Amino acid sequence: MYFKIISICGVISVISILYLLTQTLIHTSKHLSPINAVQITLLIVVCLFAVLFWYISKTEKIKENILQQYSQIKTIIDDTPFMIFLRDVNGKIIHANKYFLEVTGSKNGNIIGQNIHSFCNPNKLDILQKEDDEVVRTKQPYVTERPICLNGVSGWYKIMKYPVYDKDGNVVKLVILYENIDDEKDLEERKNTFIATLTHDLKTPTIAQIKATDILLDQNFGYLDCKQRELVTQMQTSHQYVYDLIFTMLNTYLYDNGQIKISNEEIYLNDLVTNAVNHLSNSYKEKEQRIIINNNCTSSVLADKSQIQRVIMNLLSNAIYYGFRNSDINIELTENNSQVEFKITNHSKYIPADRLEDIFEKYKKSCNTRFFKTSTGLGLYLSKQIIDAHNGNIYAQSDVNETCTFGFSLPII
């Protein structure tokens, strides 16, 4: 239609120009012989028709290119493994791809002009309307996931809604994509089952081993000399490490999948520091290290006690493990008007600046490989996830004089 209008306008323009030129020749014909006037007129007519022919050919070429591009885009949309349709803000379907027609059991001629709400569960119409209103109001895409029943078949779908604007920037249409994610949901459920089973099957015997070493250290089965006590203590430390590793892996997985719920309560960091120091006393005493606590913090924070305790335990255990033998480990608690800060400094190998940049990323470790502890590299990553979930900040610093500092801050209640 547009091309026909353009062609007609072009012909009218050429005729108008021809008419004006003819009138000009009539007024000036007294200065020309009849033969010259006819020759000039014919020349102008030929030139004008040549221009018109070029104009129409160019228009047809543009039309052909646009139709070809439209055909290519339509083929891509139809062959996309998503349900895609275009609708106005009132829900009337303007266009739908082949996959949408197949899933809904519709024919293209029958579905165009219908309201999309006729294909939806009546109980979900309020949800759909709220989503549409959100797109129109914010003029931003909207993405969600939920189970949907289409043509009698239920499944999980990822729903993506994209606004289409008019020349004034108002949302007049919506492009909707439905992607079936049954396989992803099934895989997620399998992973959840696997992680839960794995952690349970590993956790139960590990706890039993820790309890058994407690009984041995209490000498309930007889006296232990120094070498025996040292051996059992090492066994207990190894069991405790495995136990902590299991929980680190589990919590990392849960944080990555958004399945951790923060249970906030009023806590004091000094209490958590004391618990961590007591829990790891055997570790730092074995390396003849001294822990010095400088507490200048009296304010409490609203946080998940067990999660923040895990962060402090992780930072302290790293400071002990990587710290030099017979050295000091300084823990400092401070506060200002808006936040409290935990900072732990030890004497250990220098960490280059380029390593500090990604030290809190998953599977990254903190020092040169020959000083690595056998681990998953998840401890610092999990610590950052926990602090971020509490709207806090975690950081790492290292000095060429072989002192390293790790710390975090949390907002005061």
Cβ-contact 26, 40 below 8 angstroms? no
- Cα separations (Å) of 340 from 9, 19, 275, 384? 75, 87, 18, 16
Residues 6 or more apart whose Cβ sits within 8 Å of residue 96:
83, 84, 85, 86, 106, 108, 111, 112
Nearest alpha carbon to residue 319 among 354, 273, 362, 382: 273
Left if phi > 0, otherwise alpha if psi is -120 to 50, otherwise beta: which for 388?
A: alpha
What is the reported pLDDT for 193? 78
- Tell me which residues of the chain have a pLDDT lower than 70: 1-46, 48, 108-109, 257, 259, 362-377
Domain 81-180 indexed as CATH 1.10.3720.10: no
What is the reported pLDDT for 12? 61
What is the reported pLDDT for 106? 75
Residues 6 or more apart whose Cβ sits within 8 Å of residue 72:
none
Can you tell me the distance from the alpha carbon of 393 to that of 178, in angstroms, rounded to the nearest whole number?
38
Q: Report the run of H or E that residue 108 belongs to, with start and end.
A: helix 108-111
Among the four given CATH numbers 3.30.1330.60, 3.30.565.10, 3.40.1410.10, 3.40.50.10540, the one describing domain 190-411? 3.30.565.10
- Residue 392 CB neighbour total at 10 angstroms: 21
Give 116-132 pLDDT, tens digit per residue.
777 777 777 888 888 88
The predicted model scores a pTM of 0.53
Give 368-383 pLDDT, tens digit per residue.
443 334 455 678 888 9
| Exposed / middle / buried, residue 303 (Cβ in 10 Å: 0-12, 13-18, 19+) | buried
Nearest alpha carbon to residue 353 among 282, 313, 404: 404
What is the reported pLDDT for 29? 52
What is the reported pLDDT for 17? 59
Nearest alpha carbon to residue 96 among 106, 105, 84, 88: 84
What is the reported pLDDT for 41? 63
Q: What is the DSSP string of 38-63?
A: HHHHHHHHHHHHHHHHHHHHHHHHHH
Which DSSP letter does residue 204 get? H
